[in-house]
Amino acid sequence: MKKVPFVTKEQLDEIVKKYPTPFHLYDEKGIRKNVKALKEAFSWNPGYKEYFAVKATPNPFLIQILREYGCGYDCSSYTELMLSDAVGAEAGDIMFSSNDTPAEDFVLADKLGAIINLDDITHIEFLERAIGHIPETISCRYNPGGLFKISNDIMDNPGDAKYGMTTEQMTEAFKTLKAKGAKEFGIHAFLASNTVTNDYYPMLAKVLFEEAVKLKEETGAHIKFINLSGGIGIPYTPDQEPNDIFAIGEGVRKVYEEVLVPAGMGDVAIYTELGRYMLGPYGLLVTRAIHEKHTHKEYIGVDACAANLMRPAIYGAYHHITVMGKEDQPCDHKYDITGSLCENNDKFAIDRMLPKIDIGDLLVIHDAGAHGFSMGYNYNGKLRSAEVLLKEDGSTQLIRRAETPNDYFATFDCFEIGKKLLK
Ligand SMILES: *Cc1c(COP(=O)(O)O)cnc(C)c1O
């Protein structure tokens, strides 16, 4: 599918007068339309709830928009819990799906009334020591091991993943938790990431639903919810077909009718913890071409770098690039699009066919709305960019200012020379 930015060149020319490049731009209209469709796709399940994966885009303004549609928050750290609390999380609105968890994180999660999703059987004791009791509602993360396949396609390798408990441990954990006073149970698994197939959730649902029936029979636990977690992907490349959320919702419903309902478990709520799917396509990294270089290859240097979006550098991930105003020109130039870090992997694209780029051209890097800004870092002293929201009425709002050198130097305030850097 042709990838078209959600802003026009004319709009963007105006926006960059107000906010210097580089910055992340988010699309309110797209975000709202998408979350509405997700809710509708799972409306067959009365208890359905999406817990937005905060780590994907930890911006309270954006999370507040999702909150309007009843979304909760999926957190895995102390600051993510604080952020969710600030956006108005009430008891049961936070899913705390952490791993290798510090005790103080469990304490805050419990204080905020989060549902705690245990990554390991040893965390039962650890949690009990940290918070002094076992919560009445508790969840366990499942890892069936082996390879996760859809027909002959290997989707991912749970056997190699650090997360979750084995089948035997799940049973033991449920028995122990029940003996310690837990009354309502949840099951969670995240077996494949960024899947661009409508079959992932239904396949995962089958694994989890069958495990739930087994756990109920073996332990007598009341299973309140099954959490399908994240993993619904987005089409980063133009040749990928986007997922059909209604086909996915319907696929899960079928498995629910086949497995849970006959087992007398027709009251189980379905939860999701989507991140990428919720915001990925609705964020662009806006940057400007500031250099061209002709050596052994053709390079275009832009004013953004991997510190603003590191997926291409660390995963070799494809992010589509549109040269604004040149959408209809032939892609007859082969470029490496580079950032300014002293790291040769700081390239947004390698050997990418694009229209001829001139210095000063605005480029937008697509699908940066999730796992984009949030993975940013400060290497080479690069400062984090601003985040801007393009509102439904076409106006813009700053929803995070760009860092200044003061922000970068702030933690040197513990000694004299360091303090001199602070203005
Ligand atoms: C990262 C993560 C998610 C969200 O993953 P996406 O690929 O963004 O959908 C959900 N749950 C947990 C526990 C995660 O770690």
Q: Which atom of ligand 1 is nearest to the CA of 98?
A: 13
Helix axes 103-111, 78-86, angle to 10 degrees: 20
Centre of ligand 1 to C-alpha 222, Å, is: 25
CA-based torsion, 120, 124, 125, 130: positive or negative: positive
Pick the atom of ligand 1 nearest to 188's CA.
13
Using CA atoms of 133, 136, 139, 140 in order, give the dihedral in degrees to the nearest 10. Answer: 50
Instruction: State if pTM tops 0.75.
Output: yes
Pocket test for ligand 1, best of 35, 51, 54, 74 (most atoms within 8 A of CB): 74
Cβ atoms within 10 Å of 273's Cβ, excluding its own: 27
- Sorted by sequence, the CB contacts under 8 Å of residue 209 that are 6+ apart come out as 226, 255, 256, 259, 260
Q: Is 275 in the pocket of ligand 1 (CB under 6 A)?
A: yes
Q: Does domain 281-412 have CATH number 2.40.37.10?
A: yes
Q: Decide whether any atom of ligand 1 lies within 6 Å of the 229 Cβ.
A: yes
* Closest to 92 in 3D by CA, of 68, 109, 69: 109
Residue nearest to atom 5 of ligand 1 (CA): 230
pLDDT tens per residue across all 423 residues of the chain = 789 999 999 999 999 999 999 999 999 999 999 999 999 999 999 999 999 999 999 999 999 999 999 999 999 999 999 999 999 999 999 999 999 999 999 999 999 999 999 999 999 999 999 999 999 999 999 999 999 887 777 888 998 999 999 999 999 999 999 999 999 999 999 999 999 999 999 999 999 999 999 999 999 999 999 999 999 999 999 999 999 999 999 999 999 999 999 999 999 999 999 999 999 999 999 999 999 999 999 999 999 999 999 999 999 999 999 999 999 999 999 999 999 999 999 999 999 999 999 999 999 999 999 999 999 999 999 999 999 999 999 999 999 999 999 999 999 999 999 999 998
The H or E element spanning position 294 is strand 283-294
* 3-state helix, strand and coil shares in percent for the chain, rounded to the nearest 5: 35, 25, 40
Query: Which residues are identified as catalytic?
Result: 342
Q: Assess contact for 171 and 218: CB atoms under 8 A.
A: yes
28-279: CATH class: alpha beta
The residue whose CA is least distant from atom 7 of ligand 1 is 231
CA 194/CA 145 separation, integer angstroms:
19
Ligand 1, atom nearest to 56 Cα: 8
Preceding amide of 22 cis, omega within 30? yes
Q: Which of 229, 243, 375 has most ligand 1 atoms within 8 Å of its beta carbon, as the pocket-test mutant?
A: 229
Q: Which of 49, 55, 142 to mutate to test the pocket of ligand 1 (most atoms within 8 A of CB)?
A: 55
Burial (Cβ within 10 Å: 0-12, 13-18, ≥19) of residue 169: middle
Domain ranges of the chain: 28-279, 281-412
Counting from 1 in the atom list of ligand 1, the atom nearest the Cα of 273 is 10
By DSSP bridging, strand 94-96 and strand 72-75 are parallel
| 320 ligand 1 Cβ < 6 A | no
